[in-house]
Amino acid sequence: MRPAFLLTLPLTHFALAAINWDVYEYGVVPTFRWSRSFPDDGTDPGGFHVNCRHEATFHAKQYKLKDLSEPPPAGLAPWRWGIEEFLRGREYVGSWDGVDHKGGEREVVVMEWVDVPVPVRAWIEEQQQQQGGESGGDERRWLFGVFGKPKGEGETVSGTVRPRATGVVEQPGEGGVQQQQEEEVEDKDKIVVFPAGAIYEILPLWVAQGSGCERDFNNLAKYKSQAIDHSVLAWPVDHTKPLRDLGKRDITFKIQAMSVTETEDGKKARLMWEKMHRTIKRNERRQQREEREKAKKEMKEGRVRDEL
């Protein structure tokens, strides 16, 4: 039985095909600002024409932080120290729908690097270069940790890999510090770890390939949290939960995105409501101004209003 206070929630919350009850039970992180911006029944957003619509399903694993010390496949013991170091000092941006289960119950998603779409990989590497590299950016905003896989049994991974295929590291030697080429880590030997809430900032990139509107989906400047003319909308329309009771961590999640333009009827309706809203606000300000002037006049005349 659901909590009684849920009965007071707006009906729109229950119109969704799938409700994430964790939102109500655990709450969301303060920084989560995303909400679904299109209907869940496959219809177009009101007043907008959908130029193209595309979706894709992805396979991943989902762990809780308390799983870090457990060996695979139920845990992430080989990467424990690297993941803990990566998460330390970074703000947790929530799991699905921004949910924060708090403490060891907090969740992270793990994917094979090769299963991440190329536009997303490029964006992650670019962010790592800009925010954690020589540019002096804020590394705390880089929320996708890319790690190499252990090369042998018992080996641990203590840090993330460099964003470029190869890098240069400095080592002391005769005659001073010498430079040595860093060993390349192949894509098949990498994983990426992130809180699910991190994907909302780049949802269109996940479904850009093969969409027919790659130009729009790859342009994050067009990606909006609500529909406006010539914008891109996106949302994780479905995600499963791991069967933890069976020791499984596998999940799938589906992302849908669309490129929309405002219809003529939609524009007329929007302008009408905007005009009505401005009129209401103008009348409210005029009424408040008149009430203030009346109060000043009464005070100036020395009259005391009888509130009874």
Q: Name the token pair of 287.
A: 């009424």
Which of 197, 274, 213 is CA-nearest to residue 22? 197
Residue 31 maps to a domain? yes
In a domain, 196, yes or no: yes
Is 48 among the domain residues?
A: no
Predicted confidence (pLDDT) per residue in 143-198, tens digit: 999 999 998 888 999 999 987 543 444 444 444 433 334 568 899 999 999 999 99
Chain centroid, CA 169 distance in Å = 33
- Nearest CA to 132 out of 120, 148, 147, 144 is that of 144
**Number of domain units in the chain:** 1
> Of 253, 220, 243, whose CA–CA distance to 95 is shortest?
253
Residue 81: domain span = 16-43+60-161+183-211
User: Is 230 part of a structural domain of the chain?
Assistant: no
**Looking at the domain assignment, is residue 76 inside a domain?**
yes
| Average pLDDT score over residue span 39-58 | 92
Residue 67: which of 113, 101, 114 has the closest Cα?
101
Residue 117 within a domain: yes
Give this prediction's pTM: 0.76
| Alpha-carbon distances of 150 from 24, 156, 157, 159, rounded to whole Å | 39, 6, 6, 12
Contact 206, 109 (CB under 8 A): no
Joined together, the tokens standing for residue 77 give: 């013991």
Q: What integer best gives the mean pLDDT of the chain?
A: 83
Question: Which amino acid appears at position 1 of this protein?
Answer: M
Phi, psi dihedrals of residue 64, rounded to the nearest 5°:
-100, 155
* Residue 199, domain member (yes or no): yes
197 within some domain: yes
